[in-house]
Amino acid sequence: MQIPLNQFEQFIDETILKRGLSYFKNGYVSEPEEITHGVYEAIVAGSEDYTVELKIKNGTITEHICTCPYDMGPVCKHVVAVLFYLQQDVLEIKPKVVSLHPKQKPTAKKQKKKTIAEQVNEVLEKISHDELKQFIREKAEHNAPFRNIFLSSFAHQNANESKELYAKQVKSILRAAAGREGFIYWNQAGSMGKEVSELLTTAEKQLAHKNFKSAILICTAVMEEMTAALQFADDSNGDIGGNIDFAYELLYNIAKKNIPEEIRIFLFEYCLTSFEKRIYSDWDWHLGVLQIASEVLINDQEAQRVLKYIDKVQDSEYEKEEAQSIKFNIIKKTKGEKEAEKFIEQNLTNPNLRKEAIAKALKSQNYEKAISISKDGIKHDEKDKPGLAKDWYDWLLKIAQAQNDNEKIIEYARYLFIDNFKHEQDYYQLMKNGIHPEKWNQFVEGIIKDISTKKRWLDTNLIAKIYIKEEWWDRLIKLIAHEPSLQNIEQYEKYLSKNYADELAQLYEQGIVEYIKNGTGRNHYQTACKYLRRMLKLGARNKVNNIIGNFRKQYPQRKSLMDELNRV
């Protein structure tokens, strides 16, 4: 989420703002350091010290990261505290004390500080080679993350560089994150994932310097150890799977490059060996390594070795289709276009190959064939895979666009607008472009009628989208009133708050009263109070005061509710 620095208070939940302001005023924020131009880092004291990093460009916060475990919203109180620190002069606020943070250093007079990068360069210019080596030795001895990054960054200088060297580093990171039972819980997975991603950043740098083998060794070590870790970790946040995907993408990028022959053979053999040993079995990377192998193979002999494994894939329909797609690429690469086309014709039930066939026919302007293959796809998939059938309708739309067939463009765009959950194009605008302005309103009313009568349930969001496009605000407020869930009101508030603030406040009031009536628990109450604060922003303070007063009378025994109401 990007946030204008001088307007940050408008983008952040009020409760988080209050907590962040309290942290700032109590002096819990160390003076932010400018690491490099536009990148700031600060320590914020809390139950423990947390590091906040901000990236600011042209007065906009483009990235904000905090090491705290908060995940209830996009911005935590520690980030907010640092924002208040940066804007304290503009907002005319000051901390009560110079700083309660032990790392804060008082300064007699504010002056432009050097960035951390500038300070580092200055020190490096002054210290001797021996001093630097001694520092690295001592740091590497006692600091495992530093040691791992140092060894991986310069391992290509070591004649004994191996995958095991990097695997050992990954294992040490995993051990440090695991609890007594050897399990990695979600709250430890984040910091563990960050350390592993630093190794992969090193692999990226090695790739940039054409140290291909080092990059491959790092990536394969990460993939193997992290895949194994999935068996004893909570990867709810994707810290493990994300790193494996990152490593795989790096390997795939290497395969696409013009690499030395010994590296090509090394990568090819690794892919076949890892597939045969089923190192990544039950995961997408299992077939993925054959995809990489198909990218680096250069002759029929190597092609046959890959195809031998491809032909054994019988695990699931998805894996069979992926294997066929890899086989197609191999045939295209080693046998030529004619054999590849023949293979497609024999396997059109594979959606990947059907798309390839349609795209090829469309590119060669063989519209009749492209239409035929698309319609055959609809017939094949409409019953069991309706989502996939929509893809073939999308292709029919693309073909109609290529033919400038306005009637068909409107027909397919209308169908996809009403019945498609994923929008590859702006179907609404396509229809509007093709209908005469005098007939447009009547056409739109027909769409609304179809959505209201032909679908199994009233698609409020789709009808609301039409009202927003046409700026029919009176109909939008009535639609929301018909289905006044708190989430619905919030979703469309930004379109209506200017002219319908009172009506929105009334809807919020009804929703909040019903919401509190039907649930309990602090999280439940926090959600209700969030909507009370939205009512305040609509100017409905009297309504909010009445709601709070009534809740205090009705639910005096709900202590958590009383606590949350005090924070509104």
In this structure, is the dihedral angle defined by the CA atoms of residues 367, 369, 375 and 378, taken in order, positive or negative? negative
| Residue at a domain's end among 190, 223, 257 | 257
User: For residue 109, what pLDDT is reported?
Assistant: 43
Neighbours of 565 (CB within 10 A): 20
Which of residues 225, 257, 289 is at a domain's end?
A: 257
Domain stops at, among 238, 257, 276: 257
Among the listed residues 462, 467, 538, the one whose alpha carbon sits nearest the alpha carbon of residue 500: 538
Residues of the chain with pLDDT under 70: 1, 71, 97-113, 116, 152, 155-159, 455-458
Other beta carbons within 10 Å of 414: 20
Residue 342 lies in a domain: no
Q: Evaluate whether residue 75 is within a structural domain.
A: yes
* Radius of gyration for the chain, computed over Cα atoms and rounded to the nearest angstrom: 30
Determine which helix (DSSP H) or strand (DSSP E) holds 44, and give its type and residue range.
strand 39-44
Q: Are residues 243 and 148 in the same domain?
A: yes
Three-state SS string over 165-221 comes to: HHHHHHHHHHHHHCCCCCCECHHHHHHHHHHHHHHHHHHHHHHHCCCHHHHHHHHHH
Helix (H), strand (E) at residue 121:
helix 116-126
Q: 97 and 33, same structural domain?
A: yes
Reduce the DSSP state of residue 54 to 3 states and report it.
Answer: strand
Length of the chain: 568
Q: Is residue 70 situated within a structural domain?
A: yes
Tens digit of pLDDT for each residue in 144-199? 777 777 776 776 666 677 899 899 889 989 988 888 788 998 888 888 998 899 89
Distance CA 560, CA 528 (A): 12
Q: Are residues 76 and 153 in the same domain?
A: no
* Rounded CA separation 313/290 (Å): 11
| Residue 65, φ and ψ in degrees, nearest 5 | -130, 135
Helix and strand totals (H; E) in the chain = 28, 5
Lookup: tokens for 398: 């693309």
Please tell me the distance from the alpha carbon of residue 224 to that of residue 246, in angstroms, as a whole number: 13
Integer Cα distance of 481 and 488 in angstroms: 9
Q: What is the pLDDT of residue 412?
A: 96
Q: What are the tens digits of pLDDT across the range 325-363?
A: 999 999 999 999 999 999 999 999 999 999 999 999 999
Q: Which long-range contacts (CB under 8 A, 24 or more apart) does 202-207 make?
A: 202/149, 202/152, 202/153, 203/152, 203/247, 203/250, 204/250, 205/153, 206/156, 207/250, 207/253, 207/254
Domain assignment present for 486: yes
Q: Which amino acid is at 245?
A: D
61 bridge partner residues: 3, 56
> Residue 402: CB partners within 8 Å, gap ≥ 6?
362, 365, 367
Nearest alpha-carbon partner for 42 in 68, 79, 74: 79
- The answer to whether position 241 is within a domain reads yes
HSE toward the beta carbon, residue 544, CA cutoff 13 A: 20
The number of domains in the chain is 3
- Examine residue 371 and state whether it is found in any structural domain, yes or no: no
- Give the relative orientation of helices 386-403 and 367-381 as an angle to the nearest 10 degrees: 160
Residue 112: its pLDDT value, please? 56
- Separation CA 460–CA 476 (nearest Å): 10
pLDDT score recorded for residue 111: 53
- Taking the CA atoms of residue 313, residue 319, residue 325 and residue 331 in that order, the dihedral angle to the nearest 10 degrees is 0
pLDDT for res 310: 92
The answer to the question of residue 509 being in a domain is yes
Residue 195 falls within a domain, yes or no? yes
Report in angstroms the alpha-carbon separations of 78 from 26, 34, 116: 12, 17, 21
Helices (H), 277-425: 284-296, 300-310, 317-334, 337-346, 351-363, 367-381, 386-403, 406-419
Backbone angles phi, psi at 233, to 5 degrees: -150, 155
Sign of the alpha-carbon torsion through 367, 369, 373, 378: positive
| 4, containing H or E segment | strand 3-4
End-to-end Cα spacing for the chain: 25
Place of tokens 């705290």: 68
CA separation for the pair 283, 44 (Å, rounded): 40
Q: Which residues pair with 29 in a beta bridge?
A: 44
Is-contact 192 174, C-beta < 8 A? yes
28 is in which domain, residue-wise? Answer: 3-110
Question: How far apart, in Å, are the Cα atoms of 494 and each of 418, 468, 537?
Answer: 24, 11, 11
Query: What tokens were used for 208?
Result: 């940039």
Strand duo 50-57 + 60-66: pairing: antiparallel
Are residues 85 and 151 located together in one domain of the fold? no
Query: Could you tell me which residues come within 8 angstroms of residue 46 by beta carbon, excluding any fewer than 6 positions away?
Result: 23, 28, 68, 78
